[in-house]
Amino acid sequence: MKKTVFLLSTFLTACATITHGPNETIAVDSQPGGAAASIKCDGGVSVSGTTPAKLVTPRKADHCVVEVSGAGRTKRVPLTRGYSGRYWANFSWASAIPAGALLSFAGSNDVFEAGLVAGVGLTGVGFLVDWLNGSMYDRDVHEVTIDLEH
């Protein structure tokens, strides 16, 4: 029974980590295609490819800029990092209520209370996990298209 409470509560926390993970894919395209594309962030984070490209960066990386070079030009677009809506789902301590309600069918209020306490306690774990691996963040833009002809 304790394992059930733990598993249910664990699966209902750390929402951002579970639903989208610590990395983020930014699609980068250009007109004309075949340009050199990169994303550079503070802390030495850098990924590159040729347009059209899907560049994967850690959500934790900050002050990122997409840079596209080709046709004799270079253009840059900053990416703004904000908080993921999925991260705020960790505030829903009510996620423990379904676990407790489910377990209450086992026939005891003690089981319901145990599920509630476990869920509320693990909600803090969800915040911590999302913060540590960067899943709490999300970029404002997930697709960038740059016109190098104008």
120-144 pLDDT, tens digit per residue, is: 555 567 777 777 888 888 898 999 9
Indicate the pLDDT class of residue 43, thresholds 50, 70 and 90.
Answer: very high
Q: Nearest 10 degrees: CA dihedral of 20, 124, 127, 94?
A: 60
**pLDDT band at residue 83 under the 50/70/90 scheme:** confident
How does the average pLDDT of the chain come out, rounded? 78
Please determine, for residue 113, whether its predicted confidence score (pLDDT) is greater than 90: no
Q: Which of 67, 36, 60 is nearest to 137 (CA)?
A: 60
pLDDT more than 70, % of the chain: 59
Model confidence at 2, in pLDDT bands (50, 70, 90)? low
Once rounded to an integer, what is the mean pLDDT over residues 6-24? 65
The stretch 63-88 carries a mean pLDDT of 89
What pLDDT does 42 receive?
A: 95
Domain boundaries, the chain: 2-147
The one-character DSSP state at 108 is: -
Name the pLDDT band for 101 (thresholds 50, 70, 90): low
Determine whether 53 is exposed, middle or buried from the number of CB atoms within 10 Å of its CB (0-12, 13-18, 19+).
Answer: buried
Q: Which two tokens stand for residue 70?
A: 């080709």
Bridge partners, residue 56, by sequence: 25
